[in-house]
Amino acid sequence: MEGSLPKTRSKPRAASLTRDPERTRAAILRAATAEITAKGLTGARVDAIAARAGVNKRMLYHYFGDKQGLYLAVLEHTYAAIRAAEIGLNLTELDPVAGMRKLVLFTWQYFIDHPEFLSLLATENMNRAAYLKTSKQIRTLHAPLVGMIEVLLKRGAAEKVFRAGIDPIELYISIAALGFFYMSNRHTLSTIFGENLSAPERLVRRGEHIVEVILAYLKPTKL
C-alpha cells in the first residue's frame, strides 16, 4: 500500500543539481562567453569556465569537444544574437533621416549593451577571422543590412535630404566605427584623456555626436 508508514528509506541519490542537459549546456556557454570575452581565448581558463558554470570540467569536453570547439560555439551564439536583434528594425517604413537616426542609435546601443560582442570581434580579428571565414551563413546574413541601407540612401537622395553617391558599406563601417571604437577602447581612452568615458550621461552625449557626424556627412552640399 502506498499510504503505509515508511520503512527503510531508500538511500536518496545525491541531489544532482542539473541532470538537465540543456541547462548544463547553456550554463557552460554563458560561462565561457563571460570568461573568453573577459580574458581572450588564450587567457581564458578551462577550470575557470567550469567553476563559473558550476559544472564539472569533464562536461565541457562532453558537450563541446575541446576549448577551441567551445570558442566556436561562443562565437556562433554571439553572432546569432545580434542577427536576431536586427530583425526587429523596420527602417524602410520610416522617412530617410529618421530611419538613419534609428539605425545609428540602434547600433550604438547594441554596442553599449553587448560588450562581449566587442570583445569577441577583437579576439576573432586578432585571429585574422580564421573561424568566421569557415562559416557559410555569416555572409548571407549581412545582405539584408546592406540592402536596408541602400534603400534608405536611395530614398534620401530622391528626396534631396541625402547626398547622392554614398557607398552603403563605407557608410555602415563608419557608423559602426564611431561607436565600436569608443566602447571597445574606452578603458585606454579614459586613461589617456583623464575622463570617465563610461559614465551614462557621457554615453548619451556620444550617441548624439555619432548621429550628428553621420547626418552631417549625408547632408547634400548647398550651392
Positions that interact with DNA (CB under 7 A): 6, 8-21, 24, 44-47, 55-59, 61-63, 66-68
- Contacts of 79 by beta carbon, 8 Å cutoff, 6+ apart: 138, 141
From its own copies, DNA, none, interface partner of 137 (C-beta below 5 to 8 A by class): none
Binding to its own copies (CB under 8 A): which residues in 98-137? 119, 121-130, 132-133
Determine the interface stretch with its own copies among 5-13, 20-28, 50-58, 102-110 (rule: CB under 8 A).
Answer: 5-13
The SS3 assignment for 223 reads coil
Binding to its own copies (CB under 8 A): which residues in 143-162? 146
Q: Report the Cα–Cα distance between both ends of the chain, in Å, rounded.
A: 96
In this structure, are residues 162 and 218 in contact, taking their beta carbons and an 8 Å threshold? yes
Determine the interface stretch with its own copies among 93-101, 102-110, 148-156, 214-222 (rule: CB under 8 A).
Answer: 214-222
Instruction: Tell me if 24 contacts its own copies by CB under 8 A.
Output: no
Gap between the Cα atoms of 40 and 200, Å rounded: 26
Nearer to its own copies by Cβ, of 15 and 93: the residue is 15
- Contacts of 133 by beta carbon, 8 Å cutoff, 6+ apart: none
Contacts of 174-178 spanning 24+ positions with Cβ under 8 A: 174/214, 174/217, 175/103, 175/104, 175/107, 175/210, 175/214, 176/107, 178/108, 178/209, 178/210, 178/213, 178/214
Determine the interface stretch with its own copies among 10-18, 26-34, 39-47, 92-100 (rule: CB under 8 A).
Answer: 39-47
Residue with cell 537616426: 101
Smallest distance from the beta carbon of 16 to DNA, in angstroms? Answer: 2
Q: How many Cβ atoms are within 10 Å of 223's Cβ, its own excluded?
A: 3
For its own copies, the binding residues (CB under 8 A) are 1-6, 8, 38-44, 66-68, 71, 79, 119, 121-130, 132-133, 138-139, 141-142, 146, 167, 169-170, 173-174, 176-178, 180-182, 184-195, 205-206, 209-210, 212-213, 216-217, 219, 222
